[in-house]
Amino acid sequence: MESDIQKILFTPQDIAAANQRLGQQLAQDYQGKNPLFVCLLKGAILFLTDLVRQIPDSVEIDFMDVSSYHGGTTSSGDVKIIKDLDVSVVGRDIVFVEDIIDTGNTLRALMDLFATRQANSIKIVSLVDKPAHRNQSVQADYVGLSCPDEFIVGYGMDYQERYRNLPYIGVLKPEVYL
Ligand code: IMP
Ligand code: MG
């Protein structure tokens, strides 16, 4: 697996520092609110589990699985819901937990869907922001790390379901996906 990586963009230490900073901000902003953290499967799962451990107050977690219709390294405009939440969001303070925002299509579609669900508030925390291909008006309220226009893997992020278990975030060698 290591030999497929061209370069490391963020070390485990970079990621831990980002998690600590985000956790402190969220703990402050959501004190006493018992927010519902909605983890977007599968990429955000490592991030979620590290992030919530930085928050000393009560939070709840749930999971959604959404996907673009097509695989590969670019996102299509169509988003489908594979797994919805198990709990009602009426009156809740929702925090979407995402691994990376690329085009913004996924979160735009989710924000539109949730607009009718009567949550009290909806915010987004994304470990990584990749602004190069943004084509939707969507922005994370909390961002851990900003990345250049590269396809990245590790710490939850995959290429064809592999590399999620790398403890760092890196760029694949082009020959791996060509
Ligand atoms: P968006 O809808 O284009 O913003 O893309 C969101 C989803 O695409 C993310 O949640 C990731 O699952 C995936 N994605 C986008 N860029 C990358 C990347 O560089 N590596 C791995 N997955 C990515
Ligand atoms: Mg994702």
Distance of CA 131 to the CA centre of its chain: 14
Query: Which residues contact ligand 1 via a Cβ below 6 A?
Result: 40, 43, 75, 98-106, 130, 151-153, 157
pLDDT of residue 152 exceeding 80: yes
Nearest-atom number in ligand 1 for the CA of 43 is: 12
What pLDDT score was predicted for residue 121? 98
CB burial string 105-135: b at 16+ within 10 A, e below: bbbbbbbeebeeeebeebebbbbbbbeeebe
Helix (H) or strand (E) holding 45: helix 45-52
> Which tens digit of pLDDT belongs to each residue from 36-54?
999 999 999 999 999 999 9
- Global model pTM greater than 0.85: yes
The DSSP annotation for 64-94 comes to EEEEESS-SSS--S-EEEEE--SS--TT-EE
Which two three-digit tokens encode residue 56? 């000393």
What pLDDT score was predicted for residue 125? 98
Mean pLDDT, rounded, for 6-13: 98
